[in-house]
Amino acid sequence: MDIVRDPLWNNIRLDMLALALVDTGAMQRLRYVRQLGQAHLVYPGATHTRFEHALGTYHLARLTLGILQDRGDLRSLPTDEPAVVLAAALLHDIGHYPFAHALEEIGAPHHEEVGRALITSGDVADLLVQHIAPDAPARVAALVRSESSSPLQGLVSGSLDLDKIEYLKRDAHMCGVPYGEIDVDRLINSLALVRFDEGDRPRAVVGITEKGLSALESLLFAKYQMYRNVYWHHAVRSATAMYKRAVGNALAGGALDVNRLPSFTDEQLLQHLAEVAPSEMLTRLKQRRLYKRAFECPAAELPDDAGEWIASDPARTASAERDLASELGLGDGEVLLDYPEKTQMLDLDLPVQLRSGAVSRLTSEGLPGVIHLPELSAQLYRSARWLRIFTARPATVTKARVLALVAG
């Protein structure tokens, strides 16, 4: 074992495999990929990286597996399953692009697909085979991509996975905001493998005991507050929209190869763009002269599914931006539409082990006797997500025009 000092979790103990994985080039790149993308332009302390987050997720996995082991929940699993889960926790973000998730919204392959290739070949795969088993790379990749049949899948990717617990605590701590107050100890001590019947196929899955529901509420509200005040802050979204357009223009013009994106660090990509596709937008972004809001409204005031194409159809979005810029007397590239991609921000779908011994599923149907978390989560989601139009120069856009635009 070796020990790494961490500002959030204090001592993180790394075993031999974790130390070897950390030393691979793919993991070392994450030291230079910020966890929160452009959020440091609003919260100067938000310069923490995917590397720190990966270590923290590994740490929480070690703690949780220890609790499950002591409880006897792991007895029926293969003896190497905990090692596979630990590796997946450490490697879950290995394929991440520079500046967080933004590039996936302009058509770049999902970071988990990039990660699969890095995990199943090269140095990382060799280490997993050497230290765990010949099939370990495929098993780790399946956990990262939420495709595993392992009962422990929910620890790596699920409604209440360790990734979410870690990033919410770390992001709030590094941003200096009071929104990430999650009862982590209560949560991980409430996680359990429970038998849950799905049709005629009963199986063990990661769930939560009834005593952990109040801690789950703290996670829900922390996530909502972080999305509303940090992740989807208007200036963060303006910077993200500018970054997406700068990269998108470089890709469309052939100055940048999409296959090279996963190899860049944050600063390497910005420097490369400055060399091969310099632009006024890129210069403004680097100098924090961000586009300003010309219009904004919450999802709650929009028809269902209106405007979803803004985050999924870059070509249509660019065309709408050009048309709107012409109407406003602005130049090409001086209008940006932004509507954060529809995420699983507050979705809940996990089994609850009741004190009676019965198992119920916490879904959109709710759970008798507790706060209606799924319904509440949907309401919070619609109030946190905003459609915005950013412009390089002052302009005014009417709501009627926006409604016609997103419905068209």
Structural domains in the chain? 2-232 (1.10.3210.10), 234-342+385-407 (1.20.1250)
CA dihedral 208, 210, 211, 215 (to 10 degrees): 60
Q: In what order do the strands lie in the sheet with 191-198?
A: 191-198, 201-209, 350-353, 359-362
The percent of residues in the chain predicted with pLDDT above 70, rounded, is 94
Task: Output the pLDDT for position 202.
Answer: 72
Residues 6+ apart with CB under 8 A from 140: 84, 87, 88, 91, 119, 128
pLDDT at 345 over 60: no
User: What confidence tens digit (pLDDT) does each residue in 1-14 have?
Assistant: 899 999 999 999 99
Neighbours of 20 (CB within 10 A): 18
pLDDT at 374 over 80: no
Which pair of structure tokens corresponds to residue 223?
Answer: 């996530």
- For the ranges 120-134, 158-172, 359-373, the lowest mean pLDDT is seen at 359-373
Judge whether 346 and 354 are in contact, CB under 8 Å.
no
Closest by alpha carbon to 247, among 143, 152, 358, 106?
Answer: 106
pLDDT at 277 over 90: yes
Q: Is the dihedral of CA 311, 313, 316, 318 positive or negative?
A: positive
Task: Output the pLDDT for position 365.
Answer: 56
Please report where in the chains the tokens 């974790």 appear, as a residue. 18
**Greatest CA span in the chain, whole angstroms?**
68
| Three-class SS of 53-94 | HHHHHHHHHHHHHHHHHHHCCCCCCCCCHHHHHHHHHHHCCC
Judge whether 341 and 317 are in contact, CB under 8 Å.
no
Counting Cα atoms < 13 Å in the Cβ hemisphere of 214 gives: 4
Q: Within its chain, how far is the Cα of 122 from the centroid?
A: 25
pTM surpassing 0.85?
Answer: yes
- For the ranges 100-109, 145-154, 281-290, 344-353, the lowest mean pLDDT is seen at 344-353
Judge whether 195 and 202 are in contact, CB under 8 Å.
yes
Q: What is the DSSP string of 343-386?
A: --SS---EEEE-TTS-EEEESTT--TTS--HHHHHHHHHHHH-E
pLDDT band at 91 (very low <50, low <70, confident <90, very high): very high
- For the ranges 124-138, 204-218, 347-361, the lowest mean pLDDT is seen at 347-361
Q: Can you tell me the distance from the alpha carbon of 239 to that of 396, in angstroms, rounded to the nearest whole number?
A: 20
Task: Output the pLDDT for position 180.
Answer: 72
Mean pLDDT, all residues of the chain: 91
Residues 6+ apart with CB under 8 A from 305: none
Task: Output the pLDDT for position 346.
Answer: 62
Please report where in the chains the tokens 């070897």 appear, as a residue. 20
CA dihedral 171, 173, 179, 182 (to 10 degrees): 90
Q: Can you tell me the distance from the alpha carbon of 35 to that of 57, in angstroms, rounded to the nearest whole number?
A: 13
Task: Output the pLDDT for position 104.
Answer: 87
